[in-house]
Amino acid sequence: MIVNEKIAIEHGLKSDEYKKICDLLKRTPNITELGIFSAMWNEHCSYKSSRLHLKKLPTKGKKVIQGPGENAGIIDIEDGDAIVFKIESHNHPSFIEPYQGAATGVGGIMRDVFTMGARPIANLNSIHFGSPQHKKTKNLLRGVVHGIGGYGNCMGVPTIAGQTSFDSSYNGNILVNAMTLGLVKKNKIFYSKAAGLNKPVIYVGSKTGRDGIHGASMASASFDEKIEEKKPTVQVGDPFTEKLLLEACLELMAGDSIIAIQDMGAAGLTSSSIEMASKGNLGVEINLNKVPCRETKMTPYEIMLSESQERMLIILENGKEELAKKIFDKWNLDFAIIGKTTDTKNIELFFDDKQVVNIPVNTLVENSPMYDRKWKKSKLPKKIKIKKNTFNGLKIKDVLKKVLSNPNICSKEWIWQQYDHTVMGDTIQKPGGDSGVVRVHGTDKAIAASVDSSAVYCWAHPLTGGKQVVAESWRNLISVGATPIAITNCLNFGSPENEDNMGEFVECVQGIGEACEYLNFPVVSGNVSFYNQTKEIGIKPTPSIGGVGLIKDYTKMVTMNFKEINNIVMVIGKTEGHIDQSLFARSILDEKNGPPPEVNLFNEKNNGESLLNLIQKGHIKSAHDISLGGIIIAVSKMAIKGNKGIKFNKSKNLINEIDYLFSEDQGRYIIEINPKDLKEVTKILDQNSVYHEELGIIIEKDMIINQKTKVTIDELKSYNNNWLTNFMSA
Amino acid sequence: MKSSVITFPGSNCDRDMDVALSKFGFKNKMVWHNDKELPKSDLVVLPGGFSYGDYLRCGSMASKSKIMHSVINFAKSGGLVMGICNGFQILVETGLLPGVLLRNKYLEFICKNVYVKVDNRQNPYFKNLDKEIFEFHIAHNEGNYFCTKDQLDEIKDNNQIAIYYCDKNGQTEEQYNPNGSMKNIAGIFNKEKNVLGMMPHPERMIDQSLSGEDGSLFFKNLINNLK
């Protein structure tokens, strides 16, 4: 087949990009070469629209061992231990085929982590669906949850936390973001940088099939009515093989045979071989006849673009081939020497004794396009003036019932009960809390992790929204007693070619950057997913932030359930009554305009650090950050989990009771303390200028909000626990 | 006391079991599925996980692996063999235990704490336990125990039912059955009571920071019974 511009465009390249390829090669590429360029230059692999902006994120810090640019980020957790972690999107495939899309998303992110030598110790996920009324939502949710569980459960890695939301902007484009944390010794980390000439290039894992060809290109385009035809571009996962691959790789990594290792993720053998060569400033030569294939008569084009799962590429030390082969034989996995490193700085592929590809590596990587896309700045929306009498007819109990059973607030137990969250025997905080927590096996340390996003705030004002998500992640870690260390981000947006969507991206990233910088909470890994849209309609901007923190002594971990009758419940942080963009405004007043709550980074840092100090001193019996739904929702969840009630103090506040209970001002937490510690706690908070007020005391079975309003714990449970189960079984 | 935990390709609770057994005093060895001989053991454990990916049928391929010849011989000569979760599935596939484990009634994987009632103490596993109701943890997709009517009569007659799903007061009504298993069966013995298969994972409840501590009671008692 003779390549021309039309064929290039069918591969997702633009006319000028095709011209650039011809200029760089000083000739017309053949079809396999064109396939390779299209795979390396698509948005998913090249970050061509986002690179310019991602550079502005803070990525360094005392605890950062590896920032963005490798398979995953790495942070130091002392004593020679390190945590490897990353979040990644698998949105497009999950919409086309929810089970396999979600499953292979989980498989892919785990490979990114164990490629670096780490044993995965925890999985998290952030999943977003269309309106519950939309006809596809239920099946997509069921498929995604089964897929995440199907893969993670089989791997024997606990799924310890997550986030689920529903919003009509995801009707035509759901989001599935998967995150994995792994544990590694600092001196046993593996990287993807090739080194040395004539080193054997080894292929291990599953055989290569025709599945997933052009998966990365599919993920770099918008959907239209023909999406069903794209099913063959979705990969099929085999968690059993991945489990074997994990064990085999870790066994080989225990020795000193590996120079570099890279998993075959998006764009398969193409991106893995090219990235390794590029990082090592080397060339690579591969004989494609040596690649283990699942199907007959696969062409070079198909072999290079297949996204078959559970495969790795390894560059070995000379002479270690036999030893390595023995390990992979033991685990019944394919092992093939397919090529070697060279000094040509080209990627050279041979098939049936003919050279079929010869491209300088740098043209694929450094010379890949980078765009400074046009973008529109968002104005901060004007505050909504809510008429004084709007609240008159509202009964707090009715409102509470509605908000607590809202799909975005209600208990997600139906989901996380389908994930094995206790395997490995170190899960000390299960899903449903502020963060999931796992012990560092055999030590006193524990790692807390949480994943958050606030698409509504980001949609209302991207800059503030970006800051807010980072702040919320920080608070979720603090609430369990963890010192926040770093984040990974998954940036889900519409088309970068649309100025509004691009503006959302640029300003969210700016917000994330500002918050990370201020909170000393650097970004160590992440991924960008653009084109989350069907036809012209993009999703709400949805950056997902995966935060990771360290608890040095796991016995000091805090949970959110109310602990003891007569203990005092306090609010940390000031309640101003910001109702715009709150769940209350959206679900009760049907008001979708106005600015999101302001994020004051000074208060976030000060309040958070002061609370952490109190936790470390042992003064905090339970804690929970105040986020969606406001004070009353936070307190309700603490009451439900602890099976205890609360009697609210008579409000000394000047603001309206509804504003007080349902507003979503930032930087706030609910804490429970023993009355004997009250003096000490208030002293410390006062010394640090942290605003605080007593909210009430813990009592037995009721939540007594005011003289007229009493709700039993059983009522709270029924409001909160039933929506999702009923929805899924209806 | 010496124990052996078998690792099949796809086992994923083998380490957890090793940790638990070692914590309560067993000298434990990990044994590879492809080995021929069992090391000298007072207890052999088939751990949870997804042996061979649960492809074909849960436990079916593992039941044919090399080491299982020795395990079956060991069991037939009276040795203690305990299968947890996937291990239970493997044991029914070998025929050492009667019945089968079907997919959970609601077709979903379930991971949560449950209560189980110990029915039979005339055996090396539960002898001397002074507690009747335990809080254990389950995590499985195929725990729905089923057998023929004749088999059920037989296991009842022989007191082979080890534990039932129940509520915290020991009520064994259908509503406390998480997976649809027949008669709320959570675990059974062979006729001789030296082979035990159960869906719950006691190894996940061995210290107070985890889901609970009832697993500790089980293991402490087990090693004492074997001494």
Decide if A300 contacts A349 (C-beta within 8 A).
Answer: yes
The confidence score (pLDDT) of residue A650 equals 83
Please report, for residues A31, A61, A432, A622, A714, the alpha-carbon distance to residue A641 in angstroms, rounded to integers and kept in the order given.
60, 36, 9, 11, 11
CA distance A160 to A121: 10
Residue among A11, A44, A461, A692 flagged as catalytic: A44
A172-179 mean pLDDT: 97
Over residues B11-22, mean pLDDT: 98
pLDDT tens digits, A264-274? 988 899 999 99
Q: A419 vs B109: CB contact, 8 Å cut-off?
A: yes
pLDDT exceeds cutoff 70 at A231: no
Query: What domain count does chain B have?
Result: 1
- On the 0-12 / 13-18 / 19+ scale of CB atoms within 10 A, A694 is middle
The residues near A687 (Cβ < 8 Å, ≥ 6 apart) are none
Helix B14-23 with B214-226: angle, nearest 10 deg? 70
Q: What is the pLDDT of residues B77-120, one digit of tens each?
A: 999 999 999 999 999 999 999 999 999 999 999 999 999 999 88
Residue A348: pLDDT above 70?
yes
Q: Does the beta carbon of B95 lie under 8 angstroms from any beta carbon of chain A? A: no
For residue B27, the enclosing domain spans: 2-226
pLDDT at A215: 62
> Nearest CA to A416 among A160, A721, A63?
A160
State mean pLDDT over A357-365.
96
Q: How large is the angle between the packed helices A268-280 and A31-41, nearest 10 degrees?
A: 70
The residue type found at A681 is: V
A586 pLDDT more than 60: yes
**Which pLDDT score is estimated for B41?**
97
Q: Which residues of A touch B (CB under 8 A)?
A: 146, 149-150, 153-156, 238-241, 243-244, 331-332, 416-425, 427-428, 430, 439, 554-555
Per-residue model confidence (pLDDT) at position A721: 96
**Given this model, what pLDDT does residue A281 score?**
96
The predicted pLDDT at position A673 comes to 98
pLDDT tens digits for A598-628? 999 999 999 999 999 999 999 999 999 999 9
Q: Name the band, by pLDDT with cuts 50, 70 and 90, for residue A390.
A: confident
Strand A483-492 to A523-529 pairing: parallel
Give percent of chain A above pLDDT 70. Answer: 97
Which position has the higher pLDDT, A683 or A650? Answer: A683
Instruction: Write down the ipTM of this complex.
Output: 0.97
Q: Is B137 on the interface with A (CB under 8 A)?
A: yes
From B10, B108, B203, residue closest to A425, measured CB to CB: B203
* pLDDT for B24: 97
* Two structure tokens written together for A223: 């959907």
- Mean pLDDT of all residues in chain A? 95
Angle, to 10 degrees, between the axis of helix A499-519 and the axis of helix A462-479? 40
A44 is catalytic: yes
Record: contact B111-A417, CB cut-off 8 A: yes
Helices A239-253/A321-330 angle, 10° precision: 140
Give per-residue pLDDT as tens, B137-187.
999 999 999 999 999 999 999 999 999 999 999 999 999 999 999 999 999
The enclosing domain of B195 has a CATH number of 3.40.50.880
- Name chain A contacts of B109, Cβ cutoff 8 Å: 146, 149-150, 153, 418-420
Please report which confidence band the pLDDT of residue A522 belongs to, taking 50, 70 and 90 as the band edges.
very high
d(CA A524, CA A212): 28
Cβ separation A427–B50 shorter than 8 A: no
Segment among A34-38, A57-61, A392-396, A437-441 with least mean pLDDT: A392-396
Query: Would you call A723 helix, strand, or coil by DSSP?
Result: helix
To the query of whether residue A90 is one of the catalytic residues in this protein, the response is yes
- Is the pLDDT at A218 greater than 60? The verdict is no
Chain B: residue whose CA lies nearest to A556: B209
